[in-house]
Structure formats: C-alpha cells, structure tokens
Amino acid sequence: MIRFDGVTKTYADGTTAVDDLSLTAPTGKITVLVGPSGCGKTTTLRMVNRMIEPTAGTILIDGQDTAAMEPAAMRRGMGYVIQHAGLFPHRTVLDNIGTVPRLLGWDRRRTRERSLDVLERVGLSPDLAGRYPAQLSGGQQQRVGVARALAADPPVMLMDEPFSAVDPVVREQLQDEFLRLQAELGKTILFVTHDIDEAIKLGDQVAVMRVGGHLAQMAPPARLLARPVDDFVADFVGRDRGYRALGFRPTPKLPLRAEPTLVVGESPSDMSGQWCLVVDDRRRPLGWVRPGDLRGPVTVADLNRGGTVAVQGGSLRATLDAALSSPSGRGVIVDPTGALVGTVLAPEVVALVEEDRVTQAEAGSSP
C-alpha cells in the first residue's frame, strides 16, 4: 500500500506543484492519476521514489516512511516504467531487463533465467534477447521497459505514461497485455496518464487531479463516470461518459437470432439478400458480404470487415457498439472461443440499456 498524508511540493520559485495531497493506493491494485497538464501527476509519482523530495507531508509504503529509507536501495525495490521506455541503447534486451537484478547482486545464471522469463511474460520472443533497443519497434521497447521493471519482482510499480508514445493500435495491445500481467501478478501500481479512457480502462481506482496538485475526486471507474463530484470532473471525464459507463454493465440475456452464414469459396443460395455473414471453418466471423455484389463464390477480397464483435455475457457497451458498427445493422455475438452465437439488433440492445438504467435508478433509491 502507498499512502500520501498531506503531501505538498513547492519549488524555490514559489510554484506549488502538489498541494496537501492525501490518498491511498491499495495493495495489489492499480491506482491511476489523471488530469490536465500541470496538475502534478508526475511530481506525485516521482515523490514516491524520492526522485523529487516532498516539501511537507508523509509518504508511506506498507507503513514505512519513505523519508527514512535509503533512496538508492528503495528505488531498487520498485519497478519504474516511463514514456519511451528509457532503455540503455548500448545494452542488449536481455542486459536491459537484468539491470536491477545485477544491482541487487544476483548471479549471472539467475539473472539470465529471470530476464528470459519476464521477456516471455510480456509477450516477446526469446529471439529478441540479443537485440539492441534501436532494433525494436516502439511497442517492443515499451514491453522491454515493463519487463525490466518486473525483473526483480518488486511489490510496487510506478508507471509514468508508459504507453503514450506508441500508436493507438499498439497502445491498446499494450494495455491489454498489462491487464493480463496484473491479473497474474497483483502488483501495487501507481500509474500516471493524461488519457481518461486509459485511466478508466486500467484503473481499479482513478484519482482526478486539478491544476495546482489538488485531488478533485478519487473513485472506481464506474462510480467516477456515473457520479462526478463537480463540473470540473464531469467535463474532464467527457460528455460521452454515459456511454462509457456501459462498459461496466454486464449484458443481460440477449434476444439472439440465428444468422445465416457462408464460408469463403461458397456461393449464397439467395442472391437478393442485402447482407450475409462470412465465417471460417470454426465459425469465427470474418466479415460481411452483399450477395448481390458477388460475381461468383465468396473470396476474401469481397469481405466488408466493418463492424466489431462482442463476446456473449460481455459489457453493454461492447454489445451496443457491435450492433451500431455493423454494416448490416445486426450486431455479431460470439462465445469466448470467438465462434458465432448469433446476432442482435441495435434497438434490442437500446431496450436493454434502458432496462438497466431503470434497474440502477431503483436500486439507488431503495433504502
């Protein structure tokens, strides 16, 4: 657990970056600090490992005052991941990962075995172990940065906008991989981002900060979206917060319908139909085709890949998005293996959203 008790940071020129901050980052959970530029997010993070010294207040890690700890030893006991990975360019991937274990006095064999283990844990091939950072993509470098932070198995990890320097697709992949790792490892994580969507996706709790280093609100993501404490938080979270809040609502039983399908190489029996779903030999959706546009059997080039799919039993947001984004107007629902279960229409999902809203309102008003 990381606890801030009345922590303030004021610089020599009189600027107050963090003002009387009190909050707790629970053990084994992800606490995300989010807010506009200049709100003190990174300063708060860097005060934990004393790269910035607080002016007043106390920071405790598992009940121990960080001011009483030897800074270098304390830092070796924490994972630290920054934007652009911060890898040593003259060291190989494996040597970068093994930095902290070597500083802790681990022998060469143990360091190598651990480095290879975490390399695979973050989804990278052992074949990359001998490469240098310049030979990796941005996403691969960020994974190495996470692996380096995990190498000595620290209980606490500090992460300062670690995924902001990569493109949106890679960023989403890194976020998903990060959540998978956290589910396995259960670290105490303090995570800084300027992106409210990233904060809501990753955080067990989200701390919204104002300029000047004031805590505006801290809450689990669903509560933050549903009940912002004031206009500042509501504006920062965004006007589409009602839609995003559906990401925390499970989808009730759907009125699914059987969907006629084709496989690549097959011709539709009814050439007048507007849309037909194409699946592979394991009934995993590949895309939609218009039978009237075909000049023969279905080919990969004929596929319209627009539209997302939703997993049965997933969130209302994912289900509604599948229905709204489908070119046919029919949302594709799959089981956990990715196999087609059926389709649903957007008005049917909207009706479920309304039922959920009424249920939540009644639950909130009950004694």
Pairing mode, if any, of strands 56-61 and 2-10?
A: antiparallel
Considering the domain 261-353, what is its CATH architecture? Roll (3.10)
| pLDDT (0 to 100) of residue 278 | 92
pLDDT band at residue 45, thresholds of 50, 70 and 90? very high
| pLDDT (0 to 100) of residue 313 | 86
| pLDDT (0 to 100) of residue 142 | 87
Please calculate the CA angle 153-93-33 and round it to the nearest 5 degrees: 50
Least confident stretch, 90-94, 298-302, 329-333: 298-302
Contact 72, 231 (CB under 8 A): no
| pLDDT (0 to 100) of residue 364 | 56
Going from N- to C-terminal start, the domains of the chain cover 2-248, 261-353
Render pLDDT for 64-121 as a digit per residue (tens, 0 to 9).
999 999 998 898 889 998 877 788 899 999 999 999 899 889 999 999 999 999 898 8
> What Å distances lie between residue 194 and 36, 39, 83, CA to CA?
6, 10, 12
Render pLDDT for 198-246 as a digit per residue (tens, 0 to 9).
999 899 999 999 998 999 999 999 889 888 999 999 888 876 777 778 8
Would you list the DSSP string of 150-184? HTT--SEEEEESTTTTS-HHHHHHHHHHHHHHHHH
Which CATH class for the 2-248 domain? alpha beta
pLDDT band at residue 272, thresholds of 50, 70 and 90? low
Please, what is the end-to-end C-alpha distance for the chain in angstroms? 34
| pLDDT (0 to 100) of residue 245 | 80
Render pLDDT for 108-160 as a digit per residue (tens, 0 to 9).
999 999 999 989 888 889 999 999 999 998 888 988 988 998 898 899 999 99
Euclidean distance between CA atoms 115 and 126, whole angstroms? 10
Same CATH fold, 261-353 and 2-248?
no
